[in-house]
Structure 1
Amino acid sequence: MPAAAFTLAVLAQLAMISASTPPLPAIAPVPTPAQRAWQDMEFTGFIHFGPNTFTDREWGHGDEPAAAFTPSALDARQWVRVMKAAGITGVVITAKHHDGFCNWPTAMSTHSVKSSPWKGGAGDVLRELSDACRAAGLKFGVYLSPWDRNNPAYGTGEAYNEYFRKQLREVLTNYGPVHEVWFDGACGEGPNGKKQVYDFPSFERTVRECQPNAVIFSDVGPDVRWVGNENGWAGETNWAMLKVQGHGRGADNPPSGKSLTEGDEDGEAWIPAECDVSIRPGWFYHAHEDDKVKTAAELFDLWERSVGHNANLHLNFPVDRRGLIHENDAAAVLGLRALIDATYGPGTDLARGRAVGVTNVRGDAPRSASEPLRDSAFSGSNAVDGDSATFWATDDAVRAANIEVELDPNAAWDRVVLAEPIAFGQRIRQFRISVPAGSGTSNNAREWRVLAEGTTVGHKRIVRVPVTKAARVRVEILDARACPALSAFEVHATAAGVGTVKPTAPASAK
């Protein structure tokens, strides 16, 4: 749901609440509208394309001639068709990698597409991709490496920082809305053997001035953080918060690997994680990797361990020497889409609209033990209505509560999906998922069988459980930073072709 629509839905939700039911208080930090919109995207594409594509390198040296850039059939519309069909919502392209070659006709350097044979030097990769994204309804973003192994001003201080700011302005003001700006932390030597001290505060100010709705990615955000690996997964514990005081980017005292992968419960800033990974071993195209593309099942595993671990998946496509997403890559990502749709698509949620029971509802008046919970704007049914703008919530003093959903006892399932209304902050510290071991009519824990235990939830948590049939399923929120709230409680069965993966184990089995 777009951020503006989400905000209106939340306001409408609050308008329905009677004066006797206080609105849900936020627990800081909370996301900005731009961060919420970014988290709702969930699955985005990454494009690595440039001279490395033609020199068979991963990191160019900066001395590659622009004449090496010779795509024979470049079609950014094909890239976008493949990504949109795969359910990808936006794309980031390497406008400039470490070799300094610019995929647009920059006025700041001759080391760009305008000096290449492609289209007689009149081509502009950013123009073609941004136009294709706009036509297809995908969001457009840019990766601009501060490291430049070609520019002679690199390593000289302010002269290079000003050069970089001017390039930022070019890519941020000539191609329409930009949803994400990706800053790589790499800082090596330039052609003069010197390293540059990057002026990141001024780079961020330039982004805010030119594209105020864009999120900025780096080791420490300020909007989106690197997850600490390039393997495509986030920790099972993953807070959207991060402690950034005293930390920098790249080699400048970045947060620990654990903090990047799992976040920090006591972090002062809301900086959710992005999980970048390539569909092949390399980030740029290499013909010898045509048979090393990740399978649809492998990609599905990563999707569940990123999107399903309160992060976004950022999947890289190494565009080939023709200027196309290779057929093998396209087949793999479309296979991923088929598995996602078959498992989580419309009509697959076995809990949707089913009867719900909870132990506490926000604002529910005192009642006798035999009296049912009254209807409320925060009722448990909100968690199973399929609407991310409605949610079940408890009273302020509550830190532990249960929610149960009745199911078809003959239907098999092996996934539980939970979500918090993150506009009000991230709350849940620990939860448990159980099904009746016997009659299931008692609150005696001995009559319930634990399927899985977990820690954080956030924007989305996918929990893998053994294949199960049960008349009901219970989520016990065991601990939370503030009164618990859930906007989604879903139950799904994985599609054929997913393969065998290890379920999320109960704590006692870990």
Structure 2
Amino acid sequence: MKQYILSLILLSLVFSCSKKATPPAPVEPLPAPEQLAWQEMEYYAFVHFNMNTFTDMEWGYGDEPASSFNPTELDTRQWARVAKEAGMKGIILTAKHHDGFSLWPTAYSEHSVKNSPWKNGEGDVVAELAEACKEYGLKMGIYLSPWDRNHPQYGQPEYVTYYRNQVKELLSNYGDIFEFWVDGANGGDGYYGGANETRNVDRTTYYDWDSTFALVKSLQPGIIIFSDGGPGTRWVGNENGFAGETNWSSFRKEQFAPGVGPYQESQYGHEDGKYWVPAEADVSIRPGWYYHAKEDDQVKSLSHLLDIYYKSVGRNANLLLNLPVDRRGLVHENDVAALMELRKTLDQTFETNLALKAEASASAERGTGFQASQINDASNDTYWSAPDGVVQANLTLSFDEPITFNRLMLQEYIALGQRVKSFEVWVKAGEEYVQVDTQTTIGYKRLLRLDDITTDWVQIRITDAKAVPTISNVGLYLAGTEPEVRSE
């Protein structure tokens, strides 16, 4: 009888230990499933290639003849191959820029490739890129400028119908589109069908963005919509590719419309924002967005590109790096070389996660399923969490032998919301414990560049959070010697 009771007690203990604890309550706002998938892309290409490529301009006036568009070696497969080898996950194409020239044979305008000498008017750049992206396993996005300096009805209600008709063409005929990109430039001087005048619109009301964006989502339910205020992703507020050291994915998007809003706040987000609108950092690999031969020797250096990477992907933003395709219709050799140098350096840096060798512990644990061991199991789907009511906690990585590292990666389990407001990094140096960094937000991913540190003990101290913290991954890496960051 005693043995039977003892067996029941043991079984009860085993059951209670194996029973998974209750997950922490979510902290709103929360990302939609498509936003989570988008965040995991991290790094993808912008391709500015259009009429401006052939007129050597950045913003065309709208009076450029369709005959000017005539690439000699257009090869979207080369674009896709380069992007894939560079580690990018997709390509967003400028299907129509402010000059109004359409890279597909639109049924609603004569100002398009159908009236160009390229392929005798039978070509479709959007279709070719869609096929190339499919071949190389990349996602495809579309930029469609709201402003059109060529269209005679711009500024009138009829133009909005025209714009939406082009939205329907692009989002109905080319397969899955992962992102729809809306520029903030709306209105000004232009050709406008020969009027040659200045036309301004109310950027908040003219396009009826709620209805236009609803149309976009009806055509591509899983799409991410980019504009100054989202709703899927927001502009980071500059064209340097830099997010703020503090960067909340929560955002007061009600204050924004394309071309409207306090964009200086966009690189930081809003801790009290009611909407989940993560930042996208756009920047060109050259000074200009379009190709200019005079900039062939002005491609950003490795040090500059690394700085961009750590200040975008490493600060809870996605990186949209522009490639100005040249007049041949190819990504230029100098750009390709810079991209591959960046890829090689990042691969070498993040090849080995030293944290996987460590024993992880925490000052407080929620229970089974949320232990400290979840932070170095190489999975984004598991996470450590503290008990309810605990917003200050320490995570410690202990090693049998000293390691040397100079890069730290942290990730929150953002499916339940962004929480951490501040944290510190401590290491053991001899018999002393030394603070080596203090920062604010984490979000989907935070990367810190540190001096070389040799230690057998690393501790992350979460000093404040909006609610119970949830950390899915901690990574420690050793980067090789990198060129010094310099302003360019």
Q: TM-score, normalised by structure 1?
A: 0.88
1:483 is aligned to 2:445: no
Aligned positions of 1:307-318 closer than 5 A: 307-318=313-324
Give 1:143's aligned amino acid. Y
Is 1:416–1:492's contact at 8 Å kept on the other side of the alignment?
yes
Determine if contact 2:239/2:282 at 8 Å carries over to the other structure.
Answer: yes
Say whether residues 1:115 and 2:105 are aligned partners: no
* Counterpart for residue 244 of structure 2: 235
Maintained 8 Å contact 2:361/2:395: yes
Deviations 1:332-364 (A, max 9, x none): 01111101100013xx1111142112101103x
Contact 2:43 2:89 in 1 (8 A): yes
Q: 1:499 matched to which residue of 2? A: 483
Aligned positions of 1:311-390 closer than 5 A = 311-345=317-351, 348-363=352-367, 376-390=368-382
Q: 1:353 to 1:381 in 2, by over 3 A?
A: farther
Say whether the 8 Å CA contact 2:314–2:447 is kept in structure 1.
Answer: yes
Residue 182 of structure 2 aligns with which residue?
183
Aligned to 2:311: 305
Q: Secondary structure of the equivalent of 2:403?
A: coil
The answer to whether the 8 A contact 2:366-2:386 is kept is yes
After superposition, the C-alpha distances for 1:412-459 in whole angstroms (9 at most, x for unaligned) are 2111100001000001000000111443xxxxxxx4111000000000
Deviations 1:236-295 (A, max 9, x none): 110001012243220x3x1341x2001000000000000000000000000000000012
Name the residue aligned to 2:458. Answer: 473
- Aligned with 2:396 (options 382, 389, 404): 404
**Match status 1:291 vs 2:297:** yes
Q: Post-superposition shift, 1:466? A: 1.6
Three-state SS of the structure 1 residue aligned to 2:461 is strand
**1:414 equivalent in alignment to 2:409:** no
Deviation at residue 300 of structure 1 after TM alignment: 1.6
Distance 2:471 2:184 in 1: 36
Among residues 249, 255, 264, which one is paired with 2:262 in the alignment? 255
Aligned: 1:212 with 2:211 = no
CA offset digits 1:27-81 (Å, max 9, x no partner): 0001000100000000010000111101110000000001000100000000000
Which residue of the partner structure matches residue 172 of structure 1? 171
Match of 1:4 in 2: none
- Supply the distance in 1 between the matched residues of 2:65 and 2:358 (Cα, whole angstroms): 63
* Shift in alpha-carbon separation, 1:304–1:20, aligned structure 2, 3 A: closer
1:450 to 430, 435, 438: 435
| 1:105–1:124 CA contact under 8 A, matched in 2 | yes
Q: Distance in 1 between matches of 2:465 and 2:148?
A: 46
Give the deviation of 1:108 after TM superposition. 0.4
Measured in 2, the distance between the counterparts of 1:494 and 1:409 equals 19
How many angstroms does 1:410 deviate by? 4.3
The one of 227, 233, 244 equivalent to 1:224 is 233
Contact residue 139 and residue 178 of structure 1 kept, 8 A: yes
For residue 92 of structure 1, give the secondary structure of its aligned residue in structure 2. strand
1:121 is matched by which residue type in structure 2? G
- What letter corresponds to residue 323 of structure 1 in structure 2? G
Q: Distance in 2 between matches of 1:234 and 1:32?
A: 22
Count of matched residue pairs: 461
SS at match of 2:336: helix
Distance 2:71 2:325 in 1: 10
Aligned to 1:153: 153
Q: Structure 2 CA distance, aligned partners of 1:30 and 1:335? A: 36
Per-residue deviation, 1:463: 1.1
Say if 1:219 and 1:255, in contact at 8 Å, map to a contact too: no
**Aligned partners of 1:408 and 1:470 also within 8 Å:** no
Q: 2:439 matched to 1:460?
A: no
What is the root-mean-square deviation in Å for CA atoms of aligned residues?
Answer: 1.5
* CA–CA separation in structure 2 for the residues paired with 1:417 and 1:20: 27
Q: Is the 8 A contact 1:220 1:255 kept in 2?
A: no
Structure 1 residue 188 displacement after superposition: 1.9
Letter in 1 for 2:283: V
1:73 aligned partner: 73
1:282 is matched with which residue? 288
Q: By percentage of residues, which structure has more strand?
A: 2
2:73 counterpart SS class: coil
For structure 1, list consecutive stretches of 5 or more residues without a partner in the other structure: 1-15, 364-375, 440-446, 503-510
Matched-pair contact (CA < 8 Å) for 1:360–1:394: yes
Q: Secondary structure at the match of 1:46?
A: strand
Determine helix, strand or coil for the equivalent of 1:470.
strand
1:376-400 residue CA offsets vs partner (Å, 9 max, x unmatched): 2111111011111111111111010
Aligned-partner SS, 1:294: coil
Structure 1: distance between partners of 2:400 and 2:65? 65
Distance 2:163 2:447 in 1: 40
TM (norm. structure 2) is 0.92
Rounded to whole Å, the distance in 2 between the matches of 1:457 and 1:144 is 32
SS at match of 1:80: helix
What is the match of residue 142 of structure 1?
142
- Whether 1:395 and 2:387 are equivalent positions in the alignment is yes
Q: Is the 8 A contact 1:248 1:255 kept in 2?
A: no
Deviations 1:110-142 (CA, angstroms, capped at 9, x unpaired): 100001000000000000001100111100000
Report the AA paired with residue 395 of structure 2.
I
- Aligned partners of 2:429, 2:295: CA distance in 1, in Å? 49
Tell me the secondary structure at the aligned position of residue 162 of structure 1.
helix
Query: AA paired with 1:179?
Result: F
Contact residue 233 and residue 280 of structure 2 kept, 8 A: yes
- Residue by residue, what CA displacement relative to the aligned partner does 1:180-201 show, whole Å, maximum 9, x if unpaired? 0000010123424322422212
Are the counterparts in 1 of residues 403 and 456 from structure 2 also a CA contact under 8 Å?
Answer: no
Over the matched positions of the two proteins, sequence identity in percent amounts to: 48
- CA drift of 1:177 comes to 0.2
Counterpart CA distance in 2 for 1:270 and 1:485 is 17
Whether the aligned pair in 1 keeps the contact of 2:303 and 2:485 (CA below 8 Å) is no
C-alpha separation in 2, matches of 1:463 and 1:298:
16
CA pair 176-20 structure 1, distance change in 2 beyond 3 A: closer
The answer (yes or no) to whether the contact 1:154–1:195 under 8 Å persists in 2 is no
